[in-house]
Amino acid sequence: MIDRVAVLTGGGDAPGLNGVIRGVVRTAQNRYNAEVYGFMDGFKGLIENRYVKLDAQNTSGILHRGGTILGTSNRDNPFRFPAGRDAQGNLQFIDVSDQAIQNLEALGIQVLIVIGGDGSLHIAHEFAEKGVRVIGVPKTIDNDLEGTDQTFGFDTAVNTAMEAFDRLHTTAESHHRIMVVELMGRYAGWIALHAGIAGGADVILIPEIPYDVDCIIRKIRQRCAQGKHFSLVSVAEGATEKEGSMVVAAHIEDSTDPIRLGGVGQVVATKLSQATGLESRATVLGHLQRGGSPMAFDRILTTRLGVKAMIQAVEGPWDRMVALRCGEITVIPILDAISKTKNVDPQSEIVQAARAIGVCMGDDD
């Protein structure tokens, strides 16, 4: 009989985290009379045994709130925990997963629900291999997790980016400028593609289709010839020029994902401005895509995922991730979700649709 579970939110935050927490806690109380503990700041709180008991009161009024009431961290992997520097200044790592398991046992936690992206779900799976019952919930604005049609947070991020395009559209048109918008997504182009289509971008550059600057220039000149002396360009942070490489902003040594991408928007804007003579400006939307209130789609999705996560926590089997598939909430092995990154298929219908309406995808196709 499962009557005590814990939940934590790991990795970069995404709109909707609180909706999952609320869904878990309400289902636990209403359906199973079970207790829910929340570990603070992702796996860091689990290692340090920092937690709060969650109930109807402290999870009330949180559905519309961005961020996570539990805090999060995209560092602090218990299997590779930073433990100071050696004499040469190199960061040392140790395995503190046994400490985390002891904390779970001491509290009598029978199942751990991990709300996270691929980094956090990898860690969850490693705990499962050590005998911990875990359930994963797919979170990331990047939408790059396999096995689920969509991750929560993605829809809200796309809406935020779409609004940015709408605002940039009017100023681009007034000043006859090229507006380049750099969007998040790591190694996948989901946000740039969807927001680009929704925001009426003329050019969309994604990591899955290496771009050729000459193709973009041709598109912009064609628009000028049609009397449109402005253009909107949607660029994924992971977009690369043909035979080029990704533009890296920083390396964060102790992160579960040490490479931080960033800067490609300015690179593209500078090249376009030099080639076309049109003024170009780059906007980096950055963490605006992660913050703020979730859209209705994400509120509903996170509620359904939270409910299912709690049901699965009680009924098992574990080492599973709840997922959205063909409109239904189902469960899949965590391993299936983390075995590879879900990328945009360049041949997919949505890419073909973008091309059909004249969007330049950065290549000659």
Residues lying near ligand F6P in the complex (CB under 6 A) are found at 12, 74, 117, 140-142, 184-186, 237, 260-261, 290
Q: How many CB atoms lie within 10 A of CB 243?
A: 7
CA distances from 314 to 109, 127, 211, 241, 341 (A): 12, 18, 48, 49, 29
Contact 310, 113 (CB under 8 A): yes
CA distance 153 to 130: 30
Minimum CB separation of residue 296 from ligand F6P in Å reads 22
CA distances from 69 to 21, 73, 147, 236, 303 (A): 9, 13, 27, 29, 15
CA distance 77 to 171: 44
CB nearer to ligand F6P: pick between 25 and 183:
183
Enumerate the active-site residues: 142
Contact 122, 134 (CB under 8 A): no
Minimum CB separation of residue 241 from ligand F6P in Å reads 19
CB nearer to ligand F6P: pick between 101 and 337:
337
CB nearer to ligand F6P: pick between 185 and 362:
185
CB nearer to ligand F6P: pick between 28 and 157:
157
- Of the candidates 292, 275, 284, the one whose C-alpha atom is nearest the C-alpha of residue 192 is 284
Minimum CB separation of residue 290 from ligand F6P in Å reads 5
The residue whose Cβ lies closest to ligand F6P is: 184
Here the tokens at position 305 are 């995922």
Minimum CB separation of residue 283 from ligand F6P in Å reads 16
CB nearer to ligand F6P: pick between 172 and 238:
238
Contact 290, 4 (CB under 8 A): no
DSSP annotation of 31 reads I
Minimum CB separation of residue 10 from ligand F6P in Å reads 11
